[in-house]
Amino acid sequence: MSDVYSTTVLFEHPLNEKMRTWLRLEFLLQQLYNYPTLSDISSALPFFRSLSDLQDVLERGDVRTEMLKELDRQQQKMLQWDGVPGVDSDRVRALRGELKHCAAVLMAAPRLGQAVREDRLIGSVRQRLSIPGGCCSFDLPGLHIWLHLPQTVRDQQVNIWLKTFEPLHNALTITLDLVRHSEPFKNQISLNGFFQDNAEDADLLRMRIPLVSQLYPQVSGHKTRYAIRFLSLDSENGVVPNRLPFELACC
Q: What's residue 2's pLDDT?
A: 44
The reported pLDDT for the residue numbered 88 is 80
At the topology level, CATH places domain 186-250 in YacF-like (2.60.440)
Whether residue 17 contacts residue 201, with contact meaning beta carbons closer than 8 Å, is answered with: no
The ranges of the chain annotated as CATH 1.10.3900.10 are: 35-181
List, in order, residues 6 or more apart from 251 with CB less than 8 Å away. 179, 180, 181, 182, 183, 202, 203, 204, 205, 206
For residue 125, give the nearest of 109, 108, 142, 138 by alpha carbon. 142
Q: How far apart are CA 197 and CA 14, in angstroms?
A: 15
Where, residue-wise, is CATH 2.60.440.10 in the chain? 186-250
CATH class of 35-181: mainly alpha
- pLDDT tens-digit profile, the chain (251 residues): 444 446 999 999 999 999 999 999 999 999 998 887 888 888 899 999 999 999 999 988 889 999 999 999 999 988 888 777 777 888 888 999 999 999 999 999 988 888 898 999 999 999 999 999 889 999 999 999 999 999 999 999 999 999 999 999 999 999 999 999 999 999 999 999 999 999 888 999 999 999 998 999 999 977 688 999 999 999 888 889 999 999 999 99
Q: pTM (2 decimals)? A: 0.90
Integer Cα distance of 57 and 27 in angstroms: 11
